[in-house]
Structure 1
Amino acid sequence: MSNYEILRQAAQDKVERLLLFQEDCVLSQRLIRQEHNILQELATRSWDFAYFGCQPYADDEPSSKKMFLNATPNRFFSRANIRQNIRETHFWACQGNAIPKLVEFMEASFERPKNHPDCGPTYFDGYMNEMRYRHPNLITLAAVPNLGWPLSSSSSLNPGRLDSIAAVSPALHAIRGAKNLCLETADFVRYGLTLKDEQLS
């Protein structure tokens, strides 16, 4: 199911809150070992959208550079600026009262041409950013560092040029596998070997 279909069903069911993540999302040991504290923080803070894993960018331009949000001391999540461009949304949560607004915004865009000033059809990260820009009262939190990330793999929607070359594709697959192993190993060493009640950093 697409993000839109899931959100539309959630709006119909009037869910209290919704957690979505890609099927290839890897959960950080930090999330696994600090689950109670993370949930406790979310239960005591005001928020509408909470990104457990995403990539902030400097601005809205396609060629914009990746950036990092500043960590908030003794917190798992930092508050994102209203105009903060966020992409690569692969692990996030939404409060129930914000879901109908997001669904209505997406459905209205379906009737408009692409690049319409009021937002035409776009990719999901684009909808999320436009929704946040147009509703500054919506509070967005983002985990710093990420509490999950997607496996490195070839994209079925936007495959790279090298992926179509039969002689190169196996090597890319091996490189991506090595990258995934390194990321998971580094995460385990940093967070998996610590006690559950140790520091947030």
Structure 2
Amino acid sequence: MRHQKIANPDHGEWLAAFDQVRIINLRSRTDRRNETMREFTRYDWPIPDSRVSFFDAMAPQEAAGFPSAGVRGCFLSHLGVLREAWRAGCGSVLVLEDDIAFTRDMDRQASMAVRSLQEQDWDIAYFGHDYGNQPGDLSWIPVLEPRPLAHCYAVNGRALPALVAFLEQVLQRPPGHPDGGPMHFDGALSTFVKRTPGVRAFRCSRNLVYQRPSRTDLHAVSVLDRYSWLAPVAQLYRAIKRLYWRRVR
């Protein structure tokens, strides 16, 4: 991608910087799927299309050493996306989870981000993270102590073989293994970056993609989601929270 040119990076064409754009979504979570589609249509970005598509998330019944069955399913789903991209010979893949929300002025900022990324020699790029926004012009900052989340990140095709192999090794190790056993996927990705010589990971100086408030599938749900009669309260609370974050981010 370093020398790949984007014909028109405005109006959602930042997505054209990647060979594949995959959105991980459980079939049962039509609420998240619909909300994600609304995020795209806010910017008139077609979804799905030949480049952007949903990936059916895996839902195992057993934790098999992971913190929960949901955490295992998340890990396997990310691995599935990356394995498919590697086998397809993709030059790059952008991976999103189904609870993403784009920052304001996303068209312009995403265009700036991919133009800047083109100038970097990169392997993994985090468009969404928990570092907050840095002052000054938009840029890409090397990740020295990995801790970003994994709701929106890109992988250069050249890094896919090593990353897929590492994740498959994680599956074979027992919990707590010093080289990395079953864990949350974002932790596994961070471990790969930290332990693999030569891997160049960057985070955008601005958090362009954050996570919407929604019911979790990874662990025990909150009180608001535990009882069906509280569902309207939970929906209202999250709707208000989403509107607030949309105004300030």
Instruction: Give the RMSD, CA atoms, in angstroms.
Output: 2.0
1:78 pairs with 2:153: no
TM-superposition CA deviations, 1:1-21 (whole Å, max 9, x none) = 411111011111121111011
2:118 aligned to 43, 46, 58, which one?
43
> Offset at 1:85?
2.3
Contact 1:31–1:38 (CA under 8 A) maintained in structure 2: no
1:4 aligned to 70, 73, 79, which one?
79
TM-score w.r.t. the length of structure 2 is 0.63
How far apart are the structure 1 equivalents of 2:106 and 2:201?
Answer: 19
Residues 72/138 of structure 1: CA separation in 2 closer, same or farther (3 Å cut): farther
Structure 2 unmatched ranges of 5 or more: 1-55, 57-76
Hey, which bits of structure 1, 4+ residues long, moved more than 6 A?
none
Indicate the SS of the match to 2:128. strand
How far apart are the structure 1 equivalents of 2:124 and 2:169?
Answer: 21
> Offset at 1:33?
2.1
1:171 pairs with 2:246: no
Query: What aligned pairs does 1:1-201 form with structure 2 within 5 A after superposition?
Result: 1=56, 2-55=77-130, 68=131, 71=134, 73-81=136-144, 83-87=145-149, 89-162=150-223, 163-187=225-249
TM-superposition CA deviations, 1:74-129 (whole Å, max 9, x none) = 23332221x23223x10110111111111001111212211112212222112101
Higher relative contact order (CA 8 A, sep 6+): 1
Aligned partner letter, 1:84:
P
Structure 1 unmatched ranges of 5 or more: 56-67, 188-201
Contact 2:138–2:206 (CA under 8 A) maintained in structure 1: no
How far apart are the structure 2 equivalents of 1:176 and 1:158?
Answer: 18
Indicate the SS of the match to 2:217. coil
How far apart are the structure 2 equivalents of 1:45 and 1:30?
Answer: 23
Contact 1:79–1:141 (CA under 8 A) maintained in structure 2: yes
Aligned partner letter, 1:144:
S
How far apart are the structure 2 equivalents of 1:117 and 1:99?
Answer: 23
Indicate the SS of the match to 2:180. coil
> Offset at 1:38?
1.8
**Structure 1 range deviating more: 7-16 or 18-27:** 18-27
